[in-house]
A and B are shown apart, each in its own frame.
Chain A
Amino acid sequence: MRPFDYERPGTLDEAVSLVAFDPDASYIAGGSNLVDHLKLGVATPTRLVDVRGLPLADIEETADGLRIGANVRNSDLAAHPAVRSQYAVLSRALLSGASAQIRHQATAAGNLLQRTRCVYFADATTPCNKREPGSGCSAIGGYDRYNAVLGTSESCVATHPSDMAVALAVLDASVEVLGADGVRTIPLADLHRLPGDSPEHDTSLVHGELITAVTVPALPDGAVSTYYKARDRASYAFALVSVAAVVAGDEVRVAWGGVAHQPWRATRLEAALHGGPLDEDPIRAACADELADAVTSEGNSYKLAMITGATAMVLTGLAGGPR
């Protein structure tokens, strides 16, 4: 691990200026992703700015929905009464992520900004455009079982690993951000980027921008939602694919995890299923349409059938089960 300075700012503004004006500085919250990357030599900041002491740890029920402070721990968010009763998809996504120990350590902002689990990204001895722009992509033509199938580029085929982000995508959440130039709100759909030719940028944040909160609009009355995650073992593993879904009257919302560089909001599928019956055949047809542009390789082609089956199971379950 490279040596670094460690700072614990007293205010949000101080935190932002410490990072915004130092290209080699990084925020740290729970540390469960960043400390791993410091050990692996994947992240090499010369200054860590610890935001855990900042007053960003409240969950507020507002007139419009929920406001989740950036430092709220994943375990507390999953167990919050309002989240459990009104946003089952969010609670279930969080509970399916990592282990209880890690959920106590993980924060909302840190979870959204955790980096890909691509095995080559974590292995500093291999070429990786995300870790070292221009060095190449070892995953293309390499071990490809976990690679993305939608929205990939010739530069990068990594997936975004967060379960919570997939739930937040289907909930139309936004993040509130404080930067050197002030405050802005970014819809979750615009937070994570597709790789294009600059996979080193995971998100649309500018260096130094601090996530202060996540806002989640209330769901329509009578909405039901859930999260399903398919993985290599029953627990404590990242998703091969995952499905977040909301059904509210005619409206069907679906986001997929494990298939792309961002939580994949299945807008074509949603349009096709709007108002129609949530039966196996139309759901499978809508999945085929959504997956029409998918690009697969030998190791990850299973993801198409898996995401289709999972989506059908989730939507027929929500349509038939208790709302």
Chain B
Amino acid sequence: MPRITMTIDGEEVGGEVDNRTTILDALRERFGVTSPKKGCDHGQCGACTVLLDGRRHLTCLSLAVAHDGAVITTASGLAEGDELHPMQQSFVDHDGLQCGYCTPGQVCSAIGMLAEVAEGHPSHVSADLDGDVDLTDDEIRERMSGNLCRCGAYVNIVTAIREASR
């Protein structure tokens, strides 16, 4: 079995993985990092979203062996000591969760999304492809559409992200 190393939430970890292991299974089953959740396991729900080499990325459709050396930040690596990341704090302040199952993926996705907005990337609902991005609620909804919430906490998730983006 191939040996891989990854930097996960600031810590370098390593181990042997079967070629078939996804990053999600490696994180959860091998490296003990359980904040990325397994929802659908087929790329459809976003629960397994992490920041991979700086971008939001699904871990259920990625092979661990193909990402040897990757730098991964999961929701549990976002806080500075006892201080929550502003996005996490905003989710708490605005009740952006109910059961919390989708929340780690939502939070990672929201942070990645704001970085894309800062770079001026348009979205499907942007009227003008060349213009500046005005982060309206419609833009937030579209840009977060890869993260599904079974509890339906969407209204508060949009509020939490809007407030955190200010």
Contact = CB atoms under 8 A, between A and B. Distances in A.
Interface in A179-213: none
B63 A95 contact: no
What size tier do the contact residues of chain B reach? 35 or more
Given A3-B19, A36-B61, A84-B130, A99 B66 contact: no
Q: Is the interface of B mostly helix, strand, loop or mixed?
A: loop
Contacts of A105: 57-58, 61-62
B136 interface: no
Contact of B19 (A39, A48, A102, A104): A48
B145 A4 contact: no
Task: Count chain B CB atoms within 10 A of each CB in A4, A92, A101 and give the residue with the most.
Answer: A101
B85 interface: no
A100 B113 contact: yes
B42 interface: yes
B38 interface: no
Interface residues of A, number: 37
Contacts of A100: 56, 109, 112-113, 116, 143, 146
A315 to B, nearest CB: 19
A32 B130 contact: no
A75 B56 CA distance: 11
Interface string A5-43: 110100000000000000000001011100110110000
B73 interface: no
B14 interface: no
A18 to B, nearest CB: 15
Contacts of A101: 46, 49, 56-58, 109, 112, 146
B146 A50 contact: no
Interface string B116-128: 1001111110100
Contact of B63 (A31, A75, A84): A31
Contacts of A235: 124, 141-142, 145
A4 B18 CA distance: 9
Contact of B119 (A50, A79, A88, A98): A79
6 contacts: A3-B19, A31-B63, A38-B20, A95-B123, A100-B113, A235-B124
Given A4-B19, A31-B61, A36-B43, 14 more contacts: A4-B20, A28-B63, A50-B66, A75-B55, A78-B121, A79-B116, A79-B120, A92-B124, A99-B146, A100-B113, A105-B58, A105-B61, A235-B142, A235-B145
Interface of A: 1, 3-6, 8, 28, 30-32, 35-36, 38-39, 48, 50, 52, 75, 78-79, 84-85, 88, 91-92, 95-96, 98-102, 104-105, 234-236
Interface of B: 2, 18-20, 22, 41-43, 46, 49, 55-58, 61-63, 65-66, 109, 112-113, 116, 119-124, 126, 129-130, 141-143, 145-147
